[in-house]
Amino acid sequence: MDRVDVAIVGGGPAGTSAAWAAAREGADALVVEKGVPRADRDRIGPDSTDAAGMLDYWVDIMDVSPEEIPDDVILSVLDGAEFIGPNESVTLEQTGIDASYDHFGFAFHRAKFDDWLRDRAEEAGGTYHVGTSVNGVETDLSGDPRHTLTLADGDEIGADYLILADGPQRTVTTDALDQFLPGGQSVSDYLGPSQANHIAYQEHRRIPEELFDPAHIKFWWGVIPGHTAYPWIFPNDDNVARVGLTMPMGMDLADVENPEDYALLDADDERIPAGAVYLRRLLEREYPGYDLDDFPLVEDRGKSAGTEAYPISSTRPIDSPVNAGIAVVGGAMGATSAFHEGGDHVAVRTGKIAGELAANDQLGRYNGRWKSAIGEEVLRNVTFADVVRGWEPDDWDEVFAATRQMQRKGGYDWVGALRSGATALRIVADYKWTKRGYRDGAYVQIRQDEYSI
């Protein structure tokens, strides 16, 4: 049996950042990554499917200096984001949060981003076991080692500390944590309910030059049904964009109220359309006079032939059973956003914190540390997700019109709302009231003291 100080399950941004931080602190850190082939990567590595956009203040949440990020990782520097409803829209050119990055944000190459993080981890002394999955974890709190990982290839790894970074599918995390939950409860009761699971699908398409906007990401709200369901266009380089969407899994068209109000549903639809159908309809609606052939797939990008699909952890986070020497990070803990799928920034930060603390035998501080680092970001997005629950197309139009008014009248606080009318006041009041309900860490679904250890 191989022995390490810190074993890390998953080699995405969270796991790789944990390895980097642990190795930098002098620990023997090993990442186990099952590895998948991708058309845009020479070696096998993590899945790396993501719309891959980064806002200015997210760089600071990652605790990364903007100058550290290699030039070939950044595909397009962004000046703003367009939010587009069925009939109204609004453009934001500032996030409103102080940040060290000089622009609104950037779109990036996710596979190169992951490879850069891995290179840093290996340079710091972290090691990787790529090409096999973890079949199971056995934890013996009085044993030496405390944790034994059994790999699909038959190898065993013993570790003092275990960091779970296996993303929103949580194929290892669920069993590893369920043993500490009383009364037959399961982590999947909190992080896996069907109403919280979303799927994203995207296509890499070349946009006609006269239509390509390299400086703005675009989101369409209220055009497809489902809570936090929306299409997007993320500009990359060379007139290529990621055209994609996120939508709930398992949604039934029969459960959609007023399906005729959604621009991307057709009257003859018998079920919720596939992602590719939605995207074809989006391009046809937004760019009349153009055919789908005018937006050709770029087949040497993405995971496979210019397309990719991936699950999204659209839920609220959990604490880790740190007294068992276990930390859950990134998507596996539900730290990715409940309002949008962006999660690389919180994955990197939670991984760094867990790796550093494990290396210094201080993992008991992890739950407090991650809340201090990303709690406000989680709180914002959990709040927004609740505020928009149940919104229909007319609601999005009303809100976007009110937001434009607040932009002109002084901002998004009470003063701007008072100057902008009843809708603006309602938006601000709903947000403040909902956010208040999650204060003091109430957004956490499983608290540390709920584990039986």
What pLDDT tens digit does each residue of the chain (453 aa) get?
899 999 999 999 999 999 999 999 999 999 999 999 888 888 999 999 888 999 999 999 999 999 999 999 999 999 999 999 999 999 999 998 999 999 999 999 999 999 999 999 999 999 999 999 999 999 999 999 999 999 999 999 999 999 999 998 899 999 999 999 998 899 988 887 555 578 899 999 999 999 999 999 999 999 999 988 999 999 999 999 999 999 988 889 999 999 999 999 999 999 999 999 999 999 999 999 999 999 999 999 988 899 999 888 778 899 999 999 999 999 999 987 666 656 899 999 999 999 999 999 999 999 999 999 999 999 998 999 899 999 999 999 999 998 888 788 777 676 666 677 888 888 889 999 999 999 899 999 999 999 998
Q: What is the dihedral of CA 14, 16, 22, 27, to 10 degrees?
A: 140
Q: How does 198-227 read in b/e, with b if 16+ C-beta sit within 10 Å?
A: bbbbbbbbbbeeeebbbebbbbbbbbbbbb
- The answer to whether residue 294 is domain-embedded is yes
* 35 and 163 belong to one structural domain: yes
* 129 and 210 belong to one structural domain: no
Tally of domains in the chain = 3
pTM reported for the whole predicted model: 0.95
Determine contact, residues 155/4, Cβ cutoff 8 Å. Answer: no
* 265 and 210 belong to one structural domain: yes
- The answer to whether residue 75 is domain-embedded is yes
* Chain-centre distance for alpha carbon 277: 24
The last residue of one of the domains, among 312, 335, 370, is 312
- The answer to whether residue 357 is domain-embedded is yes
* 108 and 12 belong to one structural domain: yes
* 188 and 275 belong to one structural domain: no
How does DSSP classify residue 192? Answer: -
Provide the residue type at 213 as one letter: D
* 264 and 363 belong to one structural domain: no
pLDDT of residue 418: 64
Determine contact, residues 428/414, Cβ cutoff 8 Å. Answer: yes
pLDDT of residue 83: 96
- Segments forming the whole domain that contains residue 298: 197-312
* 60 and 155 belong to one structural domain: yes
Which residues contact residue 218 at a Cβ distance below 8 angstroms, ignoring those fewer than 6 apart? 81, 82, 84, 232, 233
pLDDT of residue 39: 85
- The answer to whether residue 92 is domain-embedded is no
Strand ranges inside 380-419, DSSP E: none
Provide the residue type at 18 as one letter: A
**Pairwise CA distance, residues 417 & 410, whole Å:** 8
- The answer to whether residue 178 is domain-embedded is yes
- The answer to whether residue 413 is domain-embedded is yes
**Closest to 389 (Cα-Cα) out of 422, 430, 423, 442:** 430
Q: The CATH number of the domain where 17 resides is what?
A: 3.50.50.60
Backbone φ and ψ of 91, nearest 5°: -115, 130
* 57 and 122 belong to one structural domain: yes
- The answer to whether residue 442 is domain-embedded is no
